[in-house]
Structure 1
Amino acid sequence: MHKYKFSVSMMVLLAVAGGSMPYAARAENLLMHRVQQESSMNLPSRGMSMAQVEQKYGAPQRKLTPRGGDSQKHPTINRWDYSNFIVYFERSHVIHSVLNTPAGNNTSPSTVN
């Protein structure tokens, strides 16, 4: 009897996992596509200063209110929005640049202020 319950449980688990595989594969494909796009674009690179970014790419469309800066462990983080990409700065140097896509996680940032 115990073996039978285990088998049914395993079948249900496999069915659920198998059913979600297309979604996981699609998400992985979307992520890979985004990484490929970012690597082929001329985005601000890590370590560039704010002045260098503005000199090379022009003024951003929007400079969000800085966050953090309340302690050594929480340095000031700035975010500049351009039409095609977003630049994140730690204090005054680039730490990351990403494509500005309608993924839902980087739209309408003014509501976060």
Structure 2
Amino acid sequence: MPQHLAALAFLVLLFIGAPGQAESIKIPLGQQGSELARHLPQRGQSQASVLHQHGEPTKRHASVGQPPITRWDYPEFTVYFEYNHVINSVRQHQRQHP
């Protein structure tokens, strides 16, 4: 029994230090995609307006469901349309190499 307690105590001490090994990356809220967010298509914008502002998308997905939801993919973001108007624009994750 004392060997089990010693082993348990060792494991507890081992895992207490584990969280200290993790790397924390903190990005201030003001720097999280703010530059690109200004250039994303805005809610209510028409498909024609998005085409004029951003050009032809990399890929156009067929409409799905009712009401029809359409998705256009651009290199840095994706635009979702309901009928012919933007309902959401989402920035795509861009891996940064240190």
TM-score (norm 2): 0.56
More strand per residue: 2
1:44–1:53 contact (8 Å) kept in structure 2:
no
Identity %: 11
Superposition RMSD in Å: 3.5
2:61–2:72 contact (8 Å) kept in structure 1:
yes
Structure 1 unaligned regions, length at least 5: 105-113
1:59 is aligned, of 47, 55, 58, to 55
More helix per residue: 1
Structure 2 unaligned regions, length at least 5: none
Aligned residues: 89
> Do structure 1's residue 7 and structure 2's residue 9 form an aligned pair?
yes
TM-score (norm 1): 0.51
| Displaced runs of 4 or more, over 6 A | none
Amino acid at match of 1:44: L
Alignment of 1:61-100 (within 5 A): 62-66=57-61, 69=64, 71-72=65-66, 75-81=69-75, 85-91=76-82, 92=84, 93-98=86-91
